Structure 1
């Protein structure tokens, strides 16, 4: 009697990434391609681990999709000087095409060339920019006699002005122990910049 053995292939679609001890992981690459949302936690192998072992007793029979909510850190890049020259080409000798003011938001840093960022108006030197982490809008109060506002989150940088004790500051971001926000100074002028967390409450 002759026996014929045949091998039949099974088509399995999987995406990259190791699974954890629960047999699942969080999607971080090409999630939409696999029908998932970015950051979505999901299972593989019907709830078994990546090594193929089955779930331990007490685990649910069918895997459930659970989404792990991760806080996404949103950063913002702004002009850090009062008058930032935007040039026609990425070099200091190039003619100025436009001038941007302090606090102007620069949305895309991906096109950086030789220390310059390519924006709609032309090329802007990266040394004229500063970055902060966007926070939920809130208010703080100046707790010292004067609270100085700086161009960048560094007390040795240029002071843009000061606000008196008791002045409310509207905060929209933070960086390196400083809040980024705005207030009205003693002269009634709007003051924008970085104020140290050590001088507010």
Structure 2
């Protein structure tokens, strides 16, 4: 189904063996999604949600074979907290490839999957979504900055490690991801006529 058409009743619940056990009018399982997500949840019991998609700037940056430079405050959300998984092995259908991705992710909140796309995780759904949306925007900024540097011949100026670490301590923690994600969910609820987030207080669930 098109993402824009999916409703609550279309979602499926899948057990750890990949068997659809509940929900969905069409109960077909996306095997590639299962191969990645199941292994991440198995390796990271702290993760409530994993987000992965093939976005325009994520795909473009994933072809550069590198992680982000710390070139602005927002980038510091991922300071030493994102990794590159360079091994593109085709469409992920095997459990072993999902295990490799989960191992590469380790304790971090995000991975750039080489020639593939972006992956983020969070201890709340709100944080995981916020990290993904933010990471996609940072890939766009990084590509623009790289193009500017190439055009002018001037290297990018990056934030120092001490400053980046201090900024990460302020903006890179799970609570920050949760609060950053709330406005995104509020906008979604406005569009779908719901009100759960619009009436919520400031305490994470």
Give the TM-score normalised by the residue count of structure 2: 0.22
TM-score by length of 1: 0.22
Structure with the largest fraction of strand:
1
Task: Look at both structures and tell me which one has the larger radius of gyration over its CA atoms.
Answer: 1
Between structures 1 and 2, the one with greater helix share: 2
Report 1 or 2 for greater relative contact order, CA contacts < 8 Å, sequence distance ≥ 6. Answer: 2
